[in-house]
Amino acid sequence: MRIIKENKKKLNESSFLVGEKTFGDILSLFRYSKEGDRKLAQLSPAKEAAQKYNGDYHVYGDAYEALYSLNALALAGRYGDDYNEIMNKKGSVPYTDSSFVQKYKSLQSFIYQCNEDPAYRTSLFKYLSDVMKNFKDSVGDFIEKTSEYDKAYWGD
């Protein structure tokens, strides 16, 4: 039993609920598009998560709610955390004025944190992964070799 506890402690260091800055960066990134917020909200995994975890489901139509729900779903799936408890801690998120490089790294971090079952099977996760792949294919090699990328936060 002690070995399992030690291993679980190590695993908890590898996946987490991202911070307000990261949520704000991603929301700001999608605000560049006229329909970015709406697309995120339409793909929200909140309904599926509520059914799986016997929680309340409301149609929020909110891009932040969709992102938060995806991250909460990943944590519930990986560690068995209470999805509804995580959702109840959701606050409000300011939009950031960070650089595109920081937004790119924040999206990268978010996708990494949400790459857990059942979150990675959702439409929102697949959509965000496709967006990240397109960024990576077009500008990723350039961005990831800059000192700004090295200094940017990861999941803060």
**Residue 99 located in a structural domain:** yes
- Does residue 39 sit within a domain? yes
The answer to the question of residue 6 being in a domain is no
Q: CA-to-CA distance for 141 and 104, rounded, in angstroms?
A: 12
pTM of the model: 0.82
pLDDT for 55 beyond 70? no
Query: What is the model's pLDDT at position 5?
Result: 39
pLDDT of the residue at 45: 83
Question: Based on the structure, what is the number of domains in the chain?
Answer: 1
Is there a domain that residue 9 lies in? Answer: no
Which residue has better confidence, 81 or 107? 107
| Residue 108 is assigned to a structural domain of this protein | yes
Q: Is pLDDT of 104 > 70?
A: yes
Is 3 part of any domain?
no
Residue 145's SS3 state is coil
- Cβ pair 56, 67 in contact under 8 A: no
CA–CA gap between residue 107 and residue 125 (Å, rounded): 11
56 part of a folded domain: yes
- Please indicate, yes or no, if residue 101 is contained in any of the structural domains: yes
Q: Which amino acid is at 73?
A: L
* Selected residue with higher pLDDT from 115 and 49: 115
CB 145 within 8 A of CB 100: no
Q: Which amino acid is at 12?
A: N
Check if the beta carbon of residue 74 is closer than 8 Å to that of residue 115.
yes
Q: How far apart are CA 1 and CA 112, in angstroms?
A: 29
| Residue 91 domain boundaries | 17-151
Residue 20 CB neighbours (<10 A):
13
Give residue-wise pLDDT tens across range 7-44.
Answer: 444 444 467 999 999 999 999 998 877 677 788 888 88
pLDDT per residue as tens digits for the range 106-142: 999 999 999 999 999 999 999 999 999 999 999 999 9
Q: Could you tell me if 119 and 77 are in contact, meaning their C-beta atoms sit under 8 angstroms apart?
A: yes
